[in-house]
């Protein structure tokens, strides 16, 4: 596994996915090694997140760190190349791996790192839109969802240094080393067709590794809604809080950290029905999912998937999501919630899910959908089948 972030040096769901998948494969008897960049984490760890060691005894983790520190990560971002990490990564990838699986590679080596795998099978999971978007999330000018590519001016307005390698052939050449791109949603696959790799894209949804003991812990005394994710502008947290500030008949718990958290705590300090919980551990998160009326995912930037929806479904909790990217596919296909386009539709969805009978019906659909499509067991089965198919196709071509 090659990725920029890996627990505990991480911020979001892509790193947790890599960790869960790596450990599950190791438990099945596979030899698994992970390469990630500690320098990259330290570069963007503005909140000075506390690090505690979490090492699985069956997974070998290579945490890259150089004397240049943040300059090492910045070089990969700017030049799209390995820089000081080259020798270490080259040594690790020179081993006889059967599969090398790339994830978020933006700061661990950029496109160049794709050339260094000598494995017969190479995979790439599209956790973000980084291959087609310098901001990673199709969020234009740090203001709104991208409507058309204007990348150079966008990164300047977003405070991101221009990535000049994007105007060369470096990326297209590097992508030729990938056998298959795994996309968590149809939407994300569609966004990457502009790279002319659509014949090498396979839809493989992510999974939830939460382990709820039951679908619900206790009855809800009053409506409780849950936001789980990065507390940033692109996640739609501002309009959600504006709406919920006037709904004193409902509680809203905001779970997560981000650059907008301090500002929002001050702005909505008088709203006693809104609570900011910051980061919480898995056990407490499960209890919140089980005891809330619904998850609300108000993201303005188009999501590649929507892992929190699947987490909620695992606990029998329906979801209300903004129609933005791949997250809406999960709700539309399952019928276990509501998809909204504007604030009026959000309020209507809230009124509907408050109804105990409707909520119970949605809860049953949520849990059934999770058990059918989003468990670790089903993901592993499909994942290994994909690898086996590639292997068989290559054998035929020999």
**Quick one: pLDDT at residue 382?**
97
**Quick one: pLDDT at residue 219?**
58
Q: Residue 392 is part of a domain; what is its CATH number?
A: 3.40.50.2000
Which of 61-65, 123-127, 214-218 shows the lowest mean pLDDT across its residues?
Answer: 214-218
Whether 137 is in a domain gets the answer yes
Give the angle 223-316-318 at the CA atoms, nearest 5°. Answer: 55
Task: Give yes or no for a contact between 319 and 348, defined as CB atoms under 8 angstroms apart.
Answer: no
Q: Quick one: tokens of 99?
A: 């599969």
| Same structural domain, 201 and 274 | no
Whether 8 is in a domain gets the answer no
| Same structural domain, 304 and 172 | no
Task: Report whether pLDDT(217) > 60.
Answer: no
| Same structural domain, 336 and 390 | no
Contacts of 367 (CB under 8 A, 6+ apart): 215, 313, 314, 315, 316
| Same structural domain, 357 and 383 | no
Which of 62-66, 212-216, 241-245, 322-326 shows the lowest mean pLDDT across its residues?
Answer: 212-216
Average pLDDT in the chain: 92
**Quick one: pLDDT at residue 59?**
95
| Same structural domain, 150 and 271 | no
What is the average per-residue pLDDT within 239-247? 96
| Same structural domain, 271 and 203 | no
**Quick one: pLDDT at residue 160?**
87
What is the average per-residue pLDDT within 83-97? 93
**Structural domains counted in the chain:** 2
pLDDT level of residue 144 (50, 70, 90 thresholds): very high
Task: Give yes or no for a contact between 127 and 105, defined as CB atoms under 8 angstroms apart.
Answer: no
**Quick one: pLDDT at residue 220?**
63
Q: Look at 160 and 117; give whichever has higher pLDDT.
A: 117
Q: Model confidence over 34-58: pLDDT tens digits?
A: 999 988 888 777 555 555 656 788 9
| Same structural domain, 107 and 198 | yes
| Same structural domain, 191 and 230 | no
Whether 217 is in a domain gets the answer no
Q: Which residue has the tokens 């659509």?
A: 198
| Same structural domain, 30 and 133 | yes
pLDDT level of residue 156 (50, 70, 90 thresholds): very high
Q: Give the domain extent around 346.
A: 224-373
What is the average per-residue pLDDT within 347-351? 97
| Same structural domain, 237 and 365 | yes
Which of 60-69, 132-141, 162-171, 379-388 shows the lowest mean pLDDT across its residues?
Answer: 60-69
Whether 6 is in a domain gets the answer no
Q: Model confidence over 368-397: pLDDT tens digits?
A: 999 999 999 999 999 999 999 999 999 888
User: Nearest CA to 282 among 43, 36, 54, 127?
Assistant: 54
What is the average per-residue pLDDT within 199-226? 83
Q: Model confidence over 355-369: pLDDT tens digits?
A: 999 999 999 999 999
Q: Model confidence over 245-270: pLDDT tens digits?
A: 999 999 999 999 999 999 999 999 99
**Quick one: pLDDT at residue 74?**
81
- Say what the pTM is: 0.92
Q: What does the alpha-carbon distance between residue 271 and residue 252 come to, in Å, rounded to a whole number?
A: 10
Q: Model confidence over 269-284: pLDDT tens digits?
A: 999 999 999 989 888 9
What is the average per-residue pLDDT within 171-178? 95
Cβ atoms within 10 A of the Cβ of 361, count? 14
Whether 141 is in a domain gets the answer yes
What is the average per-residue pLDDT within 50-69? 78
Q: Quick one: tokens of 183?
A: 């996309």
Whether 236 is in a domain gets the answer yes
| Same structural domain, 188 and 245 | no
What is the average per-residue pLDDT within 14-36? 95
Q: What does the alpha-carbon distance between residue 248 and residue 363 come to, in Å, rounded to a whole number?
A: 24
Whether 1 is in a domain gets the answer no
Kind and range of the H or E run holding 311:
helix 307-314
Contacts of 97 (CB under 8 A, 6+ apart): 33, 117, 118, 119
| Same structural domain, 181 and 124 | yes
Whether 262 is in a domain gets the answer yes
What is the average per-residue pLDDT within 159-181? 93
């Amino acid at each position: 596994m090659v990725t920029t972030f890996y627990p505990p040096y991480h911020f979001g769901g892509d790193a947790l996915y890599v960790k869960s998948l790596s450990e599950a494969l190791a438990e099945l008897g596979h030899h698994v090694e992970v390469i990630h960049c500690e320098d990259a984490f330290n570069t963007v760890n503005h909140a000075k997140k506390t690090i505690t060691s979490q090492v699985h005894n069956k997974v070998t983790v290579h945490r890259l760190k150089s004397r240049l520190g943040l300059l090492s990560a910045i070089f990969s971002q700017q030049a799209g190349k390995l820089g000081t990490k080259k020798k270490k990564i080259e040594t690790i990838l020179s081993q006889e791996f059967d599969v090398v699986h790339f994830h978020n590679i933006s700061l661990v080596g950029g496109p160049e790192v794709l050339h260094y795998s000598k494995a017969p099978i190479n995979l790439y999971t599209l956790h973000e839109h980084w291959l087609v978007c310098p901001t990673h999330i199709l969020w234009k000018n740090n203001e709104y969802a991208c409507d058309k590519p204007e990348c150079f001016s966008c990164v300047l307005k977003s405070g991101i240094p221009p990535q000049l390698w994007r105007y060369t052939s470096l990326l297209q050449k590097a992508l030729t080393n990938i056998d298959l791109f795994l996309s968590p949603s149809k939407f994300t696959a569609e966004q990457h067709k502009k790279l002319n790799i659509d014949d090498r894209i396979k839809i493989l949804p992510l999974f939830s590794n939460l382990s709820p003991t039951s679908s619900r812990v206790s009855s809800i005394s009053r409506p409780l809604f849950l936001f789980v994710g990065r507390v940033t502008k692109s996640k739609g947290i501002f309009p959600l809080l504006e709406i919920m500030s006037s709904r004193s008949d409902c509680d809203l718990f905001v779970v997560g950290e981000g650059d907008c958290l301090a500002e929002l705590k001050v702005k909505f300090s008088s709203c006693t029905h809104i609570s900011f919980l910051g980061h919480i551990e898995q056990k407490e998160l499960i209890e919140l999912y089980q005891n809330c009326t619904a998850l609300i995912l108000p993201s303005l930037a188009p999501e590649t998937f929507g892992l929190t929806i699947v987490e909620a479904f695992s606990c029998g909790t329906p979801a209300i999501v903004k129609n933005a990217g791949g997250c809406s596919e999960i709700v539309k296909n399952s019928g276990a919630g509501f998809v909204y386009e504007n604030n009026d539709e959000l309020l209507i969805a809230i009124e509907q899910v408050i109804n105990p009978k409707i909520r119970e019906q949605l809860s049953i659909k949520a849990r059934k959908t999770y058990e059918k499509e989003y468990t670790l067991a089903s993901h592993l089965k499909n994942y290994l089948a994909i690898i086996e198919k590639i292997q068989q196709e290559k054998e035929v071509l020999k």
